[in-house]
Chains A and B, each alone.
Chain A
Amino acid sequence: MERNEITNVTSSRLSSVLTDIHFWVPVAVLLAGLLLLKFIR
């Protein structure tokens, strides 16, 4: 029972992260930075 609650909280937190624009903007910029680094190397 308690384990189920912990799993629910974790998955809801994860879905909060994955639907947060504050997460995706830095991720997009990081990926673009890595691509740029590959391009200019």
Chain B
Amino acid sequence: MASVEMPRGSLPVQNTSRAKKLQYLGILSGFTAGAWLGAAEAPTKLVTIGIPPMVISLIMVIGVFLARWSLPALILGTSSVRADVRRAPHLIIWAVLAGCLWAVANTLTIFAIRDIGLSIAFPLWNSNSLLGIFWGFFFFNELRQAGWRRWTGVLGGALVMCAGATLLAIASSTQAPAGHSLRGVWAALGAGILWGTMYIPYRKAYLTGMNPLSFITFFTFGELGMMSALAVSYTGLSPLWQELTSARSVIFWLMLGGFIWVIGDLFQQYAAKYVGISRGIPLSNSNQLWGLLWGIFVFGELHGRSSSTYLQVIGGSLLMMLGAGAIAFSSAAADEQARWKEAAQREVRRYGVEADYVEARMNGRQAADELVKPSRSAWDWLLVAGASGIFVLFAAIARVPQMSLHWGPVALLIAALLLLLLICGLALWRTTRFN
């Protein structure tokens, strides 16, 4: 969109207020991401029959794939994705690379949980946010000239969240480690390193100006491709097909988990775009807190457990909230944002991306020569209808699990999710038009 003529003195004031607005938007996106990513676990808990974890992951990723193509088509239209790719085609490589990193990390977590249990594995791979802070600082000038107060807020907040996550994982863990402890520790640490490094492509894409909706459409090729390759190599093509067909009555629930996960991840991408990976990732790691809320209040997971377990849950939750609050109050000041722009300039120089486009997109606006209003084509509606049709098809053959659920908390949690979706979605639309 072309910039509006205004008196010279009001420009810096408007820029500062715009930057602040985007910071708040990023923080809100981080919290919303946590809620939706945590809720994604709920449909998978309905699946109690013995399906191999690799097959569960693959089915979820198929749901993710469908959602990652249909949501951008619905929100902005694929013409917007194509326009983004024309501006910075090199970013497709990073999107696919990030998808591959995600798939390998996710597979490693399966082995980590099997070998050392969730209580030890989770805090180890949750260290990804600390690695994200490091990469953000090292490669993208995040937290440079931020001052000790913001450093303490972000790093201290992330550490406190890790401590809280450890308590929650210990409290919610039900299985004992099954041996091979060293192998499990390596798997969990490996997953943390892979996920932490996955944020390099995220930040690179958003510094260059790519829309999160465009990034995720290519991310998912790496995700589905790598996950399929791993599943085939682990189980073999024919046994994998047999597992998939025998699991057809629960495929819907797993795909629904993937769909909910995509909504959470989309907000995580906006958080990474507007507050950087050093702040956005720890905030969206609050998903563990939401996952536990679903577990305790909907599925009655801690029913009959000792009072010390409940103390751990309360203590862990308070620590996570404290850490998230510390990060939320440490938003980037003007000096630090100037350093972000320097990192963006590197991308402009290196890849010949138009400076105006990068500048506009960093401010959540369209560039001057972009279409004012992205349009949806028949192809977009076909994509949305196709993806919805596949979901409806599997919903029709889905078996309703025989489980006792507490419907009051289900309604409350769904209401909270929808409220966050509405508030954050509206805020993103009003401020950036999803740019």
Whether A29 and B101, one on each chain, are in contact in the complex, defined by CB atoms closer than 8 angstroms, is yes
Whether A33 and B97, one on each chain, are in contact in the complex, defined by CB atoms closer than 8 angstroms, is no
Task: Give Cα A16 to B158, complex, Å.
Answer: 34
Whether A29 and B204, one on each chain, are in contact in the complex, defined by CB atoms closer than 8 angstroms, is no
Q: How would residues 101 to 130 of chain B score, 1 for a CB under 8 Å from any chain A CB and 0 otherwise? A: 100110110010001000000000000000
Contact of B350 among A16, A34, A41 (CB under 8 A): A16
Q: How would residues 34 to 78 of chain B score, 1 for a CB under 8 Å from any chain A CB and 0 otherwise? A: 000000000000000000000000000000000000000000000
Task: Give Cα A9 to B194, complex, Å.
Answer: 32
Any chain A CB within 8 A of the CB of B241?
no
Chain B's closest residue to A36 (CB) is B190
Whether B194 and A13, one on each chain, are in contact in the complex, defined by CB atoms closer than 8 angstroms, is no
Whether B350 and A33, one on each chain, are in contact in the complex, defined by CB atoms closer than 8 angstroms, is no
Stretch at the interface among B10-18, B195-203, B211-219, B382-390: B195-203
Stretch at the interface among B87-95, B143-151, B357-365: B87-95
Whether A26 and B201, one on each chain, are in contact in the complex, defined by CB atoms closer than 8 angstroms, is yes
**Chain B interface size range:** 20 to 34
B350 CB, nearest partner CB in chain A, Å: 5
Whether B104 and A25, one on each chain, are in contact in the complex, defined by CB atoms closer than 8 angstroms, is no
A23 CB, nearest partner CB in chain B, Å: 7
**Chain A interface size range:** 20 to 34
Whether B183 and A29, one on each chain, are in contact in the complex, defined by CB atoms closer than 8 angstroms, is no
Task: Give Cα A23 to B198, complex, Å.
Answer: 11
Q: How would residues 7 to 30 of chain A score, 1 for a CB under 8 Å from any chain B CB and 0 otherwise? A: 001000100110011110111011
Chain B residue numbers with a CB within 8 Å of A32 are: 190, 193
Any chain B CB within 8 A of the CB of A1?
no
Whether B90 and A33, one on each chain, are in contact in the complex, defined by CB atoms closer than 8 angstroms, is no
Task: Give Cα A13 to B85, complex, Å.
Answer: 14
Chain A's closest residue to B187 (CB) is A40
Contact of B97 among A16, A26, A37, A41 (CB under 8 A): A26
Task: Give Cα A9 to B351, complex, Å.
Answer: 10
Chain B residue numbers with a CB within 8 Å of A36 are: 108, 186-187, 190
Task: Give Cα A33 to B139, complex, Å.
Answer: 21
A31 CB, nearest partner CB in chain B, Å: 10
Whether B197 and A17, one on each chain, are in contact in the complex, defined by CB atoms closer than 8 angstroms, is no
Chain A residue numbers with a CB within 8 Å of B107 are: 37
Chain A's closest residue to B349 (CB) is A16
Whether B186 and A30, one on each chain, are in contact in the complex, defined by CB atoms closer than 8 angstroms, is no
Any chain A CB within 8 A of the CB of B169?
no
Any chain A CB within 8 A of the CB of B289?
no
Chain A's closest residue to B201 (CB) is A26
Given contacts A13-B90, A33-B105, contact A26 B350 (CB under 8 A): no
Task: Give Cα A13 to B93, complex, Å.
Answer: 11
Whether A20 and B350, one on each chain, are in contact in the complex, defined by CB atoms closer than 8 angstroms, is yes
Any chain A CB within 8 A of the CB of B281?
no
Contact of B94 among A13, A23, A37, A39 (CB under 8 A): A23
Whether A30 and B101, one on each chain, are in contact in the complex, defined by CB atoms closer than 8 angstroms, is yes
A28 CB, nearest partner CB in chain B, Å: 9
Chain A residue numbers with a CB within 8 Å of B105 are: 33
Whether B90 and A26, one on each chain, are in contact in the complex, defined by CB atoms closer than 8 angstroms, is no
Whether B90 and A40, one on each chain, are in contact in the complex, defined by CB atoms closer than 8 angstroms, is no
Chain A's closest residue to B196 (CB) is A29
Task: Give Cα A37 to B193, complex, Å.
Answer: 13
Task: Give Cα A9 to B135, complex, Å.
Answer: 29
Contact of B90 among A17, A30, A41 (CB under 8 A): A17
Please name 20 pairs of A and B residues whose Cβ atoms are closer than 8 Å in the assembled complex, sorted by A. A9-B352, A20-B350, A22-B200, A25-B200, A26-B98, A26-B200, A26-B201, A27-B97, A30-B97, A30-B101, A33-B101, A33-B105, A33-B190, A33-B193, A36-B108, A37-B108, A37-B190, A37-B230, A40-B186, A40-B187
B-to-A contact residues, CB < 8 Å:
89-90, 93-94, 97-98, 100-101, 104-105, 107-108, 111, 115, 135, 139, 183, 186-187, 190, 193-194, 197-198, 200-201, 204, 230, 234, 350-352
The 5 A-B pairs at the shortest CB distance, nearest first, are namely A33-B104, A29-B197, A36-B190, A33-B194, A40-B183
